[in-house]
């Protein structure tokens, strides 16, 4: 029986791949991604604290907006305290709505990653021309504000069409984060002999699936981060691995959850000399020179 496939990459078992190291001989690369998202008021998509009522859905809009107004700034203080870099996954609408927040990431030296125009829409449902327009508008705005084009992309709602990797590669992107099938970066085949790298992005160590969907407690989510870190530190002795943590300020920036996240950050910080604390863009750049599948 022949199943439908994507033809983006071949099966490659983790065991037996070429060995390499991260900078300074490190074996585990760790990055934190903070999603900076803005939503239309009274329309479009959005995570829900509770089932939304008729529009305008004030409760859920305000809950999400708490992240931009308050929670993200708590997170900046927490990451500054341990001197951790972040990757800011930016809806381009944030430059109009909350420019000071994106500017704070710029001042930290964080990587700015393309994350669509707004999380009120999905790109995977669009026709090719409309999806190309979405990618182009996002890229143009980030380039204008940051003085350089973004190198990485995460689709809003991790939504892709059958052509998304092709369109991203053609737009000049070096890597994407949407696929969660590996703990190492791999190459995707794209049309026209182009290629784009898939850098691991977590769907387990991600506060939306873990907390909003599966209802994990703040303490459990922090324990998940610690356990993942400890186990991957051991596993990485055999091969280089990537550990990502995905955060949303309206969820993890709530003070009672933040308290537990800080515990996990301190645990990782206590082992910082043994790992590569980095960004997905730096991981992609390093792997471009390595024998990855």
pLDDT digits (tens, 9 = 90+) for 114-131: 999 999 999 999 999 999
Of 266, 230, 273, nearest in space to 26 by CA: 273
CA dihedral 72, 155, 187, 182 (to 10 degrees): 60
pLDDT surpasses 80 at 220: yes
Q: How confident is the model at residue 48 (pLDDT cuts 50, 70, 90)?
A: confident
Prediction pTM value? 0.97
Domain positions in the chain = 27-41+53-287
**Residue 195, φ and ψ in degrees, nearest 5:** -150, 160
Which H or E run includes 289?
none
Cβ–Cβ under 8 Å, residues 64 and 46: yes
Q: Count CB-CB contacts under 10 A for residue 118.
A: 21
**What CATH topology corresponds to 27-41+53-287?**
TIM Barrel (3.20.20)
Q: Residue 54 pLDDT > 90, yes or no? A: no
Summarised one tens digit per residue, pLDDT across range 78-103 is: 999 999 999 999 999 999 999 999 99
Give the residue-averaged pLDDT of 219-243. Answer: 98
């Amino acid at each position: 029986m022949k199943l439908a496939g994507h033809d983006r990459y071949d099966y490659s078992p983790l065991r037996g791949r070429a060995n390499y190291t991260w900078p300074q001989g490190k074996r585990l690369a760790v990055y934190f991604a903070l999603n900076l998202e803005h939503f239309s008021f009274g329309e479009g998509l959005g995570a829900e604290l509770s089932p939304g009522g008729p529009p305008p859905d004030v409760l859920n809009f305000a809950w999400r907006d708490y992240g931009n107004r308050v929670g993200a700034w708590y997170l900046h203080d927490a990451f500054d305290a341990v001197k951790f870099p972040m990757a800011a996954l930016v809806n381009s609408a944030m430059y109009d709505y909350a420019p000071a927040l994106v500017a704070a990431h710029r001042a930290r030296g964080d990587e700015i990653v393309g994350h669509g125009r707004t999380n009120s829409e999905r790109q995977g449902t669009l026709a090719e021309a409309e999806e190309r327009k979405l990618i182009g508008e996002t890229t143009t705005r980030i380039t204008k504000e940051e003085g350089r084009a973004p190198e990485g992309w995460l689709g809003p709602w991790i939504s892709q069409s059958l052509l998304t990797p092709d369109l991203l590669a053609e737009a000049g992107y070096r890597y994407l984060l949407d696929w969660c099938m590996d703990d190492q970066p791999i190459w995707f085949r794209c049309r026209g002999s182009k290629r784009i790298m898939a850098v691991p992005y977590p769907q387990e160590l991600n506060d939306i699936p873990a907390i909003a969907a599966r209802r994990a407690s703040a303490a459990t989510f922090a324990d998940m981060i610690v356990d993942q870190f400890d186990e991957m530190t051991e596993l990485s002795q055999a091969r280089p691995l990537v550990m990502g943590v995905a955060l949303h300020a309206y969820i993890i920036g709530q003070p009672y959850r933040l308290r537990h996240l800080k515990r996990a950050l301190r645990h990782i910080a206590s082992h910082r000399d043994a790992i590569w604390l980095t960004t997905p863009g730096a991981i992609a750049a390093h792997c471009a020179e390595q024998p990855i599948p």
